[in-house]
Every structure is written in structure tokens, then in C-alpha cells.
Structure 1
Amino acid sequence: MSTGSSKSTQAAVKAADRAHVFHPWSAQDLIDPLVVAGAEGSYFWDHDGNRYLDFSSQLVNTNIGHQHPKVVAAVQEQAARLCTVAPGFAVDVRSEAARLIARRTPGDLDKIFFTNGGAEAVENAVRMARLHTGRPKILSAYRSYHGATAAAINLTGDPRRWPSDTASAGVVHFWGPYLYRSHFHATSEVQECERALAHLEEVVAFEGPQTIAAIVLETVVGTAGILVPPAGYLAGVREICDRYGIVFVLDEVMAGFGRTGRWFAADHWGVVPDLLTFAKGVNSGYVPLGGVAISAEIAATFATRPYPGGLTYSGHPLACASAVATINAMADEGIVENAARIGADVLGPGLAELAERHPSVGEVRGTGVFWALELVRDRETREPLVPYNATGEANGPMAAFAAACREGGLWPFVNMNRTHVVPPCTITEAEAKEGLAVLDTALTVADAYTAA
């Protein structure tokens, strides 16, 4: 394609987008979406030939990279054989997807309820917990994101909840562990863990344990900061749930399927929830898919009692085919192991080295290919580079940093005063180092706003 035709194509796509597409989480007249022409592996590009290293994995979901040939072929083959069939039928590809997922989930989470994505998975996990216990309340953390549907957005802790929070959804929020900005005046991981658990137990006591159906947690908090829980925290939550008959739900929508260097982040701590939600990495988002992995005890609740929930596209054959191909490719190609190795050998040390040289970096945290740099104006006071939930001019320093990343050929994942380093689990050592080099340059822009 000639340069002229590329530009005309880009202009036509942009014009149609601006005329007809209503974009999520956006003021429609204030956005200028990049027109994407194609993608492969760890990169995507526009019609002008600008190529970006995808350090966002789009929305932290292309764990297997863009256009993996085995997954593309599986979708094509399934489409030629059987495009769709209602959820009430048994079909080979759906059964195999469920089997492969159940084989990798912790403990006895061997029944799989399929949804179209993570928010619907959380919605159904909450419904299952309430029906199983006969209790109304759900507890979740302030620093969290669980989706944008009715129950999920109320569970969410970050500011995206505010416009839709009805204050009548039966949700109670609490503070999870976050040593860098401890709400418990802790000075060590051990203190943070102990005090966070004491706080949670106090919330449970004051809300009335007999009224609480579930505690919902992201195993590793994702969009709200890549917060890796201290040793013992998840086990402590498990113990509280067991003591009071509360269902323990782990949200692994973002952390699951290799992102942390394990199939599921829960595997790092040997904790088994009662319900586990997944989406994103299960098939790298090639076709919409999510689900709930269900324990034997909760599944038994609906053995002779109908479960009152379902979706037209639950376990869609094209989505399930992409999941089967994704999981098999991840196993055959050592993709989970690659994520662990890249995190331990390249990203972890490389980000720590950047932090030593850039005064704008307050903290580095993460595991696998799931990292965050917390950017600050002052390392001593830990003042964020931009205020909480900043917009417009107040968000200028982070906007300038993100622009510098893009100018360097890297597409960042930026949220509030953080940049998240979340490339595909398939990223190579050379690609990871390329991304670190761009971050190094972009951080000099952030440094200009610090007190150093």
C-alpha cells in the first residue's frame, strides 16, 4: 500500500470512528484515538508506519501477544466447523476449554461457568455467593477494580465507581495492604499484613459476620496499583472467611493466566478461594471470554436447585476454541515460565536500576510481567507526581511522561501517578530491554517535575 493510500485509509477510519463510535470512559469530544492498522507479537502499528512496543498488553489482556498463529488458526477452524451453539448444549470445544481451565485452577475449583468477560464473571460470583450463604453483603477493597456492570462497579474501589455508586448495593469497602502508603502506620511487611488483617476483621465484626456473603479481592491488585500482597495476608483472609462462613472470591481477571509468572497468582501463596473469576489472559482477548471457577461445595448448592443466571453467549464456541489454543500454546511454549524469567531477570532488576537514577520513581513493585512504577514529586514525602484522580492541567506531568513514551515507540499503561509495565507474557529479553530504554528516556521528563 502506498503512503498516500495509507494516509487516506487512516483518515477514513478516523472519520468514521469520530462520527459513530462511542468510546468508554471518555469525554467524546476530547479524545483522539490512534488508528491501528495491525499487530504482531509485542508490537502494533498505525497506517503511517509508527510502530509501538505494547507495554500495556492493550488492557493487560494480550498475554500471549498479538496474532499468535495457533490461536488465529483455531478460531478460523472452529468458525468453519461450528460458529455458535446455545449454552444449554454440550459441545466438545466448550468442554475442553473448561477441562483445561479446571486443570490449572487451585484446589477443587473444577466447575467452570463461562461469561463474556471479567465484569460478568464478578457479577455471577457475587450472585453465587449470596445464594450459597443466604447473606446480602459483599466486602471489597478501596484500591480495586472489578468491572463496570452493576454489582461489579459498586465493588470497585477506584473513582470510576463514583458516578454509578448507588450506596444501596450491599457493598462495604475496606483498606487492603499497601506498605508504601500504609493506612496502618506500618513500617514493615509483617506489620502491614498483621494490621491489615486486624482492620479487616474489625470491619467484619462491625458489619456483622452473619450478614456477609463474600469477601472479594484481586489476588494481586491490578489497575489500582499492582499491589502484591505481603506474605500471609491472603492466608489470613482465608482464615477469616472460614471462621465466619464467608465465601472467599479471588478476582484473577488481570492477574491470571501467566501474568504474575504462575498460571494463577494464588499459586504464589498456596491459597485456594471458594470462587475464582477469570477473563483477559484466558485467551488473550482474541474473542470475548471470562468465567467463574467454582468449588465443589458451592457447585453442590446448585446440584438440584437451578442457578438463576445465564448468558446467550456463555461458552461461545469461537471464544472457547481460542481459549483451548491459548492454554495449549502457553503450556507447549513455556510462556508462563517466560513471564517469570523475564520478570526476575530483566524487568525487576531493570526497573530497580531506573529507580536508582530517576528521582521521580518512588517505588518499584511487581512480579512476572506485572509491574508498576509509582512516580512522585518528592521521594522523602512520597507526594504523588499528580494528585489522586487528577484530570486536565493537574495531570500534566503524567501526560507529558506518557507522550514521551509514545514518541519513543512505546505504548504505556498509565493510571493516576503510576506507569504499569505489563507487556505480553511472550515478550523477549531484547524487547523488554528496548522498553526499559524508552522508559529511561521518558522518566527524565517526569524528573523535571520533582523536587530533586
Structure 2
Amino acid sequence: MTDTDELARELDREHVFHSWSAQSQTSSLVIASGSGCRVWDHAGTEYLDFSSQLVNVNIGHQHPAVVSGIREQAELLTTIAPSTVNLARGEAAKRIAARAPEGFERVFFTNGGADANENAIRLARLATGRDKILSTYRSYHGNTGAAIVSTGDWRRIPNEFARGHVHFFGPYLYRSEFWATTPEEESERALRHLRRVIEAEGPTSVAAILLETVPGTAGILVPPPGYLAGVRELCDRHGILLILDEVMAGFGRTGRWFAFDGYDVRPDLITFAKGVNSGYIPAGGVIIDEPIAALFDERVFPGGLTYSGHPLAMASIVATLDAMESEGVVEHAREIGATAIGPALDELAERHAVIGEVRGEGVFWALELVADPKTREPLSPAAMGRIKTGLLARKLLPFIQDNRIHVVPPCIVTDDEVDQAIAIYDDVLATALEGES
């Protein structure tokens, strides 16, 4: 421990109010810097980052091309109003649109994923003249007014101030709400459930269905065959817009530029943030299908943000996407998921009965931990706490959510780093749960 680390902790305790936390119970972990998949404190204690922080540092920490792009833009122009024309903003939008389906040419920039979803909801309501937004219980869409109420998990409940939100159950075969035994059954029954919710709510009252393409914080829930295409068909049948939330799953996380590229589905609105610039500077946005964008050619869009398309954020997007393309980062994420991470996690599950299920793709995986493999009772919070403590003690930064370990390193992770992490998971699961029944 250094004096600098202790100063950081003291200042944090005295002055910083943390999100989603009881303030007396926040972390004392100090991070001073990083490089690639590793971070360290002021004393030089190094950690292997298998959380990507909040699953956003897709290109790794302190990528020199991105740092250079931000520095060059800072020397040219640090900020400008969103009503002006700025080259960095146009270049960022062009690169994002180039990765989207044909017909998605316009990008509305926001400060992050929450207000991306907020504005996608606004666009859907304005475009349809309808009010209701349908989203799943197992979801997280951000912490602004409509986004947090669209969220399905516990964070919604103390924040339910927005109107017009309805929730339904999405597919999750391991804990099926539909008594399904195969992915096909889960898909079919989940779609029937959604159809009945739409019918019960009144199809002409529903503006949009908002889905994470692959729900992230809810458990890396890869959709079963036909599900997303079935949701698209229901939307088309009833004039409902489909918003796909790619905030966590997009820009390489699944081994594809967009997660929905792996499914037979075309959304009407796409939200993004996180991986688009690895979180180096806050940025997000909505990619808008042309028929919706055209509605506002002469009609005023009643939304905006002071920092929409901020030059430093735009420069970081340009540098990130260019580096990801030139270095084959997305292809690497796909390959290392298929050849290293996935097989290693499957082998880990064979050694540890506490692992009830392994699921994921690319660099987007979850280990669901259970107290009993037969009943699938989730592992207790106390046991999960011991696992987290054990991982940190072995200098691995984990992403722990409920009864799961999310294995979510940067897209640039190497085979050696995967091997190191797997060995740590193996050791902790063998020791931290001794005596657990």
C-alpha cells in the first residue's frame, strides 16, 4: 500500500457518493492505471481485468491509438455545441452507420446507454403515436426516467415514475417460465406468451418492444433459435417498432460488430454505447432506420443534450472503430470465444458441480452457480461473496451478478490470459466453497 492509494481511499470515503451502493459498504479497491487486459493501483499491484469494468472496455485499457485520437482532438477543439457541424461527429456517425444494416444512415448521439434508450423510446412514441413500451423482466436498460422503468430487475422498483411500461418474460431455458425442455420449445412458448401480452395490453397501444439482443447483466441470455425473428414478426403484425439494445452486446462483445448480426432480425432502432469507444469518454446513441428519421425532416425532434456528439467522445469513437477494424479485434473476439474461452469454461463445469450452466459467445460468457445441480437452487449470496473475495485475492477483477460469474474480458484478451483466468476460477471454486452443501 502506498500513501497515494490511501489518499485515494480517504478522498473517496469523504467526498464520493457511489451508485447502487450503501455508502458505508463501497469498495476500497484503488485503480490508478492500466494497459490491455490489466490494471494496477499506485503501489503497482496488478489485476487481470475479466470484468472489462462494466463490460465496456472492449479494446482494452489505454489503447495507444485511442489515447492519441483523443489527444489530437483535444489540441484541435475540446468542445462545441451539438447544433453546429463538426467533422469528428460526422466521421463517427459514418463509421457507426457503416456497421448497421442498410438504411440506417442517421445517428443521434447521447452521453451513454441509458439516454440512448431514453431517446429511442421517445422516437418510438413520436413515430407511432402510441404510448406503451414492452420489455422483459430480465433486463437492464439504464438509469434515466423511462430507461430504468423499462429495466426489469430490482433497480426498477424504487424508480417507477415513468408511465406506459409493461414487462414480460423473455426466454431463459435454464430457468424456464414456460416448462420448456428444449431451446425450440422455449422460443415457441416465450413467443406465445409475448403474443398474449400484446393482445391483453391492446396492440394499438404499444409503441415498441425494447430488448437487449443478448441480455447482459441479466445473465448473458443468448436467445434461442427463432425467438428474435418471431418478435420481429409480432411487431410487424401489429405496427409495433422493435428497439434492440446493443449497449453491452454491441461492437465486438459477441464476436460480431452487432449481436443481432447473428440472428435473422432487423430492428427499427438500435441503441449503443460502451464498446463503441470502450468507455474512454462517455458516449452512446441511437441508430435510426430511414423511415423513422424521415419523419423529422420537417418536424422538430423534441430531444437533445448539451454534450451530444462531443468532439472528444467522437474522436474516441473514430479511433476505436478504426483500430478494431485494422487489428481484427472483432474477429479475434469471435475466435478466442470459440476456441479458448468456451471450451475452457465447459471443462471447468465438468470439474465443478457448482457450475449449473455455461452460456455465451465471443467474450460474453456466464457461469451460473447453483447450490444443487438437480434443483438448480442458486448459490447463496454469502457463497458468492466468498467467491468474489477469493478472485480479488488472486488478483483477478471479476464481474459478479446474483449467482453468476460473468466472464467478460476485453476483446483483445490473449490465450495466455484466458489460461490464467481459468486457473484462478478453478482454484477459487475448489477452495472458497469448502463445506458448502
TM-score, scaled relative to structure 2? 0.99
Report the alpha carbon displacement of residue 105 of structure 1 after superposing the two structures with TM: 1.2
Which of 252, 271, 282 lines up with 1:288 in the alignment? 282
Whole-Å separation in 2 of the counterparts to 1:235 and 1:107: 18
Alignment of 1:87-98 (within 5 A): 87-98=82-93
Q: Secondary structure at the match of 2:270?
A: strand
Alignment of 1:211-222 (within 5 A): 211-222=205-216
Report the alpha carbon displacement of residue 33 of structure 1 after superposing the two structures with TM: 2.7
Which of 314, 319, 324 lines up with 1:325 in the alignment? 319
Aligned 8 A contact 1:397 1:449 in 2 = no
Aligned 8 A contact 2:252 2:330 in 1 = yes
The answer on 1:249 being equivalent to 2:243 is yes
Partner in structure 1 of residue 234 of structure 2: 240
The answer on 1:275 being equivalent to 2:269 is yes
The answer on 1:126 being equivalent to 2:121 is yes
Structure 1 letter corresponding to 2:243: V
Partner in structure 2 of residue 113 of structure 1: 108
Structure 1 letter corresponding to 2:421: G
Whole-Å separation in 1 of the counterparts to 2:179 and 2:352: 26
The answer on 1:416 being equivalent to 2:402 is yes
Aligned 8 A contact 1:260 1:340 in 2 = yes
Partner in structure 1 of residue 148 of structure 2: 153
Q: Secondary structure at the match of 2:34?
A: strand
Q: Kindly tell me: are residues 306 and 11 of structure 1, through their superposed partners in 2, closer, same or farther at Cα, counting changes over 3 Å? A: same
Q: Secondary structure at the match of 2:32?
A: strand
Partner in structure 1 of residue 341 of structure 2: 347
Aligned 8 A contact 2:329 2:412 in 1 = yes
Q: Secondary structure at the match of 2:267?
A: coil
Partner in structure 2 of residue 101 of structure 1: 96
Aligned 8 A contact 1:360 1:375 in 2 = yes
The answer on 1:403 being equivalent to 2:361 is no
The answer on 1:185 being equivalent to 2:164 is no
Report the alpha carbon displacement of residue 450 of structure 1 after superposing the two structures with TM: 4.5
Whole-Å separation in 1 of the counterparts to 2:83 and 2:383: 52
Structure 2 letter corresponding to 1:124: N
Whole-Å separation in 1 of the counterparts to 2:408 and 2:219: 12
Whole-Å separation in 1 of the counterparts to 2:377 and 2:434: 15
Unaligned runs of 5+ in 1: 1-5, 387-394
The answer on 1:338 being equivalent to 2:324 is no
Whole-Å separation in 2 of the counterparts to 1:107 and 1:202: 32
Greater shift in the superposed pair: 92-101 or 24-33:
24-33
Report the alpha carbon displacement of residue 36 of structure 1 after superposing the two structures with TM: 1.1
Q: Deviations over 1:337-376 (max 9, x none)?
A: 0100110000000000000010110000000000000000
Q: Kindly tell me: are residues 108 and 445 of structure 1, through their superposed partners in 2, closer, same or farther at Cα, counting changes over 3 Å? A: farther
Report the alpha carbon displacement of residue 30 of structure 1 after superposing the two structures with TM: 1.7
Aligned 8 A contact 2:383 2:433 in 1 = no
The answer on 1:13 being equivalent to 2:8 is yes
Whole-Å separation in 2 of the counterparts to 1:209 and 1:107: 28
Aligned 8 A contact 1:359 1:450 in 2 = no
Report the alpha carbon displacement of residue 447 of structure 1 after superposing the two structures with TM: 4.2
Whole-Å separation in 2 of the counterparts to 1:41 and 1:447: 31
Aligned 8 A contact 1:139 1:215 in 2 = yes
Aligned 8 A contact 1:377 1:449 in 2 = no
Whole-Å separation in 2 of the counterparts to 1:447 and 1:296: 53
Report the alpha carbon displacement of residue 303 of structure 1 after superposing the two structures with TM: 1.1
Alignment of 1:11-50 (within 5 A): 11-50=6-45
The answer on 1:63 being equivalent to 2:58 is yes
Which of 205, 217, 223 lines up with 2:217 in the alignment? 223
Q: Deviations over 1:29-49 (max 9, x none)?
A: 122331112111000011232
Whole-Å separation in 2 of the counterparts to 1:75 and 1:7: 30
Whole-Å separation in 2 of the counterparts to 1:308 and 1:79: 30
Partner in structure 2 of residue 390 of structure 1: none
Q: Deviations over 1:361-412 (max 9, x none)?
A: 00000000000000000001100002xxxxxxxx210010011111111110
Partner in structure 2 of residue 439 of structure 1: 425
TM-score, scaled relative to structure 1? 0.95
Q: Deviations over 1:5-48 (max 9, x none)?
A: x6111111111111111111111112233111211100001123
Greater shift in the superposed pair: 85-94 or 116-125:
85-94
Partner in structure 2 of residue 308 of structure 1: 302
Whole-Å separation in 1 of the counterparts to 2:109 and 2:99: 16
Report the alpha carbon displacement of residue 271 of structure 1 after superposing the two structures with TM: 1.5
Partner in structure 2 of residue 391 of structure 1: none
Counting matched residue pairs gives 437
Aligned 8 A contact 1:360 1:446 in 2 = no
Structure 2 letter corresponding to 1:92: L
Q: Deviations over 1:61-84 (max 9, x none)?
A: 000000000000000000000111
Aligned 8 A contact 2:228 2:264 in 1 = no
Aligned 8 A contact 1:142 1:175 in 2 = yes
Whole-Å separation in 2 of the counterparts to 1:257 and 1:27: 33
Structure 2 letter corresponding to 1:232: G
The answer on 1:430 being equivalent to 2:416 is yes
Whole-Å separation in 2 of the counterparts to 1:180 and 1:188: 10
Q: Kindly tell me: are residues 127 and 430 of structure 1, through their superposed partners in 2, closer, same or farther at Cα, counting changes over 3 Å? A: same
Aligned 8 A contact 1:398 1:417 in 2 = yes
Whole-Å separation in 2 of the counterparts to 1:445 and 1:270: 43
Report the alpha carbon displacement of residue 247 of structure 1 after superposing the two structures with TM: 0.6
Partner in structure 2 of residue 172 of structure 1: 166
